[in-house]
Structure 1
């Protein structure tokens, strides 16, 4: 499946391994959360990078001790109206996770800005929409009402942009 990072299609070099699948001797691997819990010692001793596939029902708080050892976390969007991955992504960034956050599943161009604002930086996009549609979606909004604290780009908040050259606003008594 095509992988979009910084508006460019890049090859996905990660190997996804199921809960009971055999680990390859080398290479970066993505494992489900249950396997991470069960085999943390073996997985963390590997010389390659470790990624995690988290389901929408897993709690991000349970990853606290594992976060420093993870280079990638994959979060699913099983349906366009299932927003649990947004909440999980934001929670992970607030917990201090700075590795790659990848969105997979029903990822749509019109939701790209929201995904970037909560911390996603890679997207498994499929071939449903051409790359030009994704590039356009990434440029459509350069300002956001909510703070996009985790975006690695030039996005700014509207309040900040409006007040860069303004004098500080002093509290005025309420007329009325």
Structure 2
């Protein structure tokens, strides 16, 4: 099972149509888009998709942010989901680049509970340091 993170917190997956690879998805399904995709080249194939899910194989792999941003720049209006190794500290970056939600494993949700995913959390290393000084 996965946990879906939105600005409202943790929740179940509300997109019931499922995801399929580009070229295999039915009209009502979302598209699993590789994080190596050339968005401009495939734009006509994805622009009407109700949802697009972009994988993050590692929290250090930021290609998905660029893809999400480019999709939004081109006018994509559907649901954008980051999936995989996105950590709580990266949630604001994900939202800022165009993602609506993040799909994480139950294991990651247990290690980084819901309050850590607050999109307006303003705690930083510097502010913690200043308080203790």
Number of residues of Structure 1 aligned to a counterpart in Structure 2 = 117
TM-score by length of 2: 0.78
Q: What is aligned with 1:5? A: 6
- Over aligned residue pairs, what C-alpha RMSD do you find? 1.7
- Give the drift of 1:63: 2.8
Give deviations 1:17-69, integer Å, cap 9, x for gaps. Answer: xxxxxxxxxx5131112424xxxxxx23xxxx220111112211133223342
* Bigger relative CO (Cα 8 Å, ≥ 6 apart): 2
Moved >4 Å (runs of 4+): none
Structure 2: gaps (5+ residues): 123-133
Give deviations 1:85-124, integer Å, cap 9, x for gaps. Answer: 0110111001100111101110111111111111011011
Structure with a larger share of its residues in helix? 2
Which of 1 and 2 has greater Rg? 1
Structure 1: gaps (5+ residues): 15-26, 37-42, 142-176
Q: What is aligned with 1:117? A: 96
Q: Contact between 2:54 and 2:83, CA under 8 Å: does it hold in 1?
A: yes
Q: What is aligned with 1:66? A: 45
- Give the drift of 1:7: 2.8
